[in-house]
A and B are shown apart, each in its own frame.
Chain A
Amino acid sequence: DVVMTQSPLSLPVTLGQPASISCRASQSLVHSDGNTYLYWLQQRPGQSPRRLIYKVSNRDSGVPDRFSGSGSGRDFTLTISRVEAEDVGVYYCVQGSFWPPYTFGQGTKLVIK
């Protein structure tokens, strides 16, 4: 199984400042079709997860443009350019390149300093 490792697990950020979350896979996530199926989810307190980014760097509809995804191979990053109060929650990466099983990172909890 592909193991997804996120860092940090806790991320205190000052409002208006940038934030970055790293996600590393135990193997390259490049699929035989040439695509990389790496996704980012956000789970706000008391809510179910929702997808923010699909296939490494594509923002979902309605997701603010302060969120961006990047990376390739084994290493990926979710960046928030300027953190707002509504960004508090837990962020997960998940891979869909080599399955079953789909595998998730442990989650990174973003809190406001």
Chain B
Amino acid sequence: QAQLVESGGGVVQPGRSLRLSCATSGFAFNAFGLQWVRQSPGRGLEWVASTAHDGSRKFYADSVQGRFTISRDSSNNILYLQMNSLRGDDTAIYYCVRGWHDADFMGAWGQGTSVTVSS
């Protein structure tokens, strides 16, 4: 049974940084692409970033391009999201999601971690 457990959320001032982590277990970490998806009350579900199974390819939503960085640690089976220059509209629950293609696509979700950007 795949498990994805996010952490690192919190309240942060605009312009500051935060790093989210997603600890995974129960599946072959190096076999799956991984993603971050966020959800805010006013904007529904929004794809944020994706990384290939080996980290060789990374993609970002226009809204976070240049500010957020997705990375993965295959030694510890952890996915990260480094978020810099945070803005109010980054306020959301951030979900770690397994699978970015075909039958694997978004096949497993974490419970989410809440990020609030406010002064």
A interface residues with partner B (beta carbon < 8 Å): 35, 37, 39, 41, 48-51, 54-55, 58, 60, 92, 94, 96, 99-104, 106-107
Contacts and interface: CB of A to CB of B under 8 A. Distances in A.
Interface string B95-109: 100001111011111
Interface residues of B, number: 23
B111 interface: yes
B47 A60 contact: no
B107 A60 contact: yes
- List 5 A-B pairs, minimum CB-CB distance, nearest first: A102-B47, A104-B45, A100-B59, A48-B109, A96-B105
A60 B99 CA distance: 14
B102 A37 contact: yes
Contacts, number: 59
A55 B102 contact: yes
Given A99-B59, A101-B47, A104-B47, A49 B103 contact: no
Contacts of A39: 105-106
Interface of B: 35, 44-47, 50, 59-62, 95, 100-103, 105-112
A51 B102 CA distance: 13
Nearest to B4: A48
Contact of A49 (B59, B60, B95, B105): B95
Contacts of B47: 99-104
Contacts of A92: 44-45
A58 B110 contact: no
Contact of B46 (A37, A49, A50, A104): A104
A51 B106 contact: yes
B60 A100 contact: yes
A37 B109 CA distance: 18
Contacts of A103: 47
Contacts of A41: 45, 106
A94 B46 CA distance: 10
